[in-house]
Amino acid sequence: MSDFTLVGGTMAAATPLIFAATGELVGEKAGVINLGIEGMMLVGAVAAFAAGAAGWPAVLALAAAALAAALMALLFAGLSLSLGANQYAAGLGLGILGSGVSAFIGHAYAGVSLTPIAPVLFGLDPLVYLALLLAGGVTWFLSRTKAGLVVRAIGESPRAAHDIGYPVIAIRYGVTLFGGAMAGLGGAYLALCYTPLWIEDMTAGRGTIALALVVFSAWKPWRVVVGAWLFGGVALSGLFAQGLGVALPSELLSALPYVATILVLALARTRALEVPASLGQTFRAEG
């Protein structure tokens, strides 16, 4: 295979990770950690697949995926933001519920396949470019706009932001729903472009890799892209190595993103990672 396929394949493999991780990054910047990305991706995947199988145009299928996953995120937000439930517990519940909902609906599509979205440029489909635009847009939003500054301020000190007069809970709702919609697009990419054949649990841990990527990237969107290429490239080079007859257990390469993230967590100083100070903490306006 040519180098070009390797580059293109890497970019394709990175795309769902970029969508999901960039969405999660914005939420974490505002202090909300959602461990249920995997569940939201799976719901997005099944929504997109069902829409595609019903003959909807790709744009509508993507919208359905984003909406369905955002609805799942709304459940999480209602629990953790309005009712003050622990974010980690609510995220775990979301992961279990989402994977169940996805498998339940997807049951009817076992073995069904779709025609993948056609490539537009350099043999890659439009979503690959959309993911890069998203990462660029989020970088600009967080570092160059007033709204982005408010999001970051809420992540650092929700109490101070509240006292100044910013609607902390409402903004956290907004970023959580955005994160859900992006996870949904990541799942939709898998269902419509990457493996357009319905397989239960088709995300295969990508939601957790996305969560890892946010840490790996030290909460910087452009590093999410680099990290996603790295993780995508590693996974793909494993396939190439096997194709060339190099005996490497595929599990070893699949484990690399997790191991790399644990190493980054262990080796980087917490300060250098720039963890949002209020990450995972419940905020109540009433005090």
Partner 1 sequence: MKRLVLERRAAPLAWMRLGAPLLAVALTLLAAGLLVRLLGRDPWETFTIFFVTPLSTLYGLSEWLLRASPLILIGLGFTVALRANVWNIGAEGMFVVGAVAATVPALAFGDDHPVWLLPLMMLAGTLGGMAWAAIPAFLKTRANVNEILVTLMMNYVAGLLLSYLVNGPLRDPAGFNYPQSAPFDASAQFAPFGDAVRLNGSILITLAALPLTWLLLERSFLGYRMTVSGAAPAAARYAGFGQAGLVWAGLLISGGASGLAGMMEVAGPLGQLPLSVSPGYGFAAIIVAFVGRLKPLGIGLGGLLLSLLYLGGEAAQMSLGLPTAMTRIFQGALLFFLLGADILITHRLRWRDR
Q: Please say whether the beta carbons of 46 and 114 come within 8 A.
A: no
Shortest spacing between CB 150 and partner 1, in angstroms:
25
Q: In which region does residue 169 sit, left (phi positive, over 0), alpha (psi from -120 to 50) or beta (all else)?
A: alpha
What percent of the residues of the chain are helix, what percent strand, and what percent coil, each to the nearest 5?
Answer: 75, 0, 25
In angstroms, the Cα distances linking 131 to 88, 101, 137 are 27, 26, 10
Considering the complex, state which of residue 79 and residue 192 has its C-beta at the smaller distance from partner 1. 79
Considering the complex, state which of residue 63 and residue 257 has its C-beta at the smaller distance from partner 1. 257
Considering the complex, state which of residue 3 and residue 286 has its C-beta at the smaller distance from partner 1. 286
Helix axes 146-156, 126-144, angle to 10 degrees: 70
**120, containing H or E segment:** none
Interaction between residue 85 and partner 1 (CB under 8 A): yes
Considering the complex, state which of residue 60 and residue 103 has its C-beta at the smaller distance from partner 1. 103
Interaction between residue 277 and partner 1 (CB under 8 A): no
- CA 244 – CA 239 distance, rounded (Å): 9
- What residue has token string 């980087």? 268
Shortest spacing between CB 90 and partner 1, in angstroms:
6
First to last CA, the chain: 60
Contact window for partner 1 (CB under 8 A) among 17-25, 55-63, 226-234, 246-254: 246-254
Q: Please say whether the beta carbons of 251 and 197 come within 8 A.
A: no
Q: Which of 127, 202, 215, 224 binds partner 1 (CB under 8 A)?
A: 215
- CA 233 – CA 8 distance, rounded (Å): 10
Q: Please say whether the beta carbons of 171 and 154 come within 8 A.
A: yes
Hey, which residues between 28 and 67 contact partner 1 (CB under 8 A)?
35, 39
* Site mask for partner 1 (CB under 8 A), range 86-115, x = bound: x-xxx-xxxxxxxxxxxxx--x--------
Shortest spacing between CB 212 and partner 1, in angstroms:
6
Q: Which two tokens stand for residue 143?
A: 């570092």
Contact window for partner 1 (CB under 8 A) among 13-21, 47-55, 223-231, 244-252: 244-252
Considering the complex, state which of residue 102 and residue 139 has its C-beta at the smaller distance from partner 1. 102
Considering the complex, state which of residue 61 and residue 75 has its C-beta at the smaller distance from partner 1. 75
Considering the complex, state which of residue 75 and residue 117 has its C-beta at the smaller distance from partner 1. 75
Contact window for partner 1 (CB under 8 A) among 8-16, 111-119, 130-138, 204-212: 204-212
Interaction between residue 259 and partner 1 (CB under 8 A): yes
Non-local (6+) Cβ contacts of 53 within 8 A are 109, 112, 114
Query: Exposure string (b/e) for 135-169, b if CB count within 10 Å is 16 or more?
Result: beebbebbeeeeebebbbbbbbbbeebbeeeeebb
Considering the complex, state which of residue 103 and residue 197 has its C-beta at the smaller distance from partner 1. 103
Hey, which residues between 113 and 132 contact partner 1 (CB under 8 A)?
none
Contact residues for partner 1 (CB under 8 A)?
Answer: 35, 39, 75, 78-79, 82-86, 88-90, 92-104, 107, 200, 205, 208, 211-212, 215, 249, 251-252, 254-255, 258-259, 261-262, 265-267, 270, 286
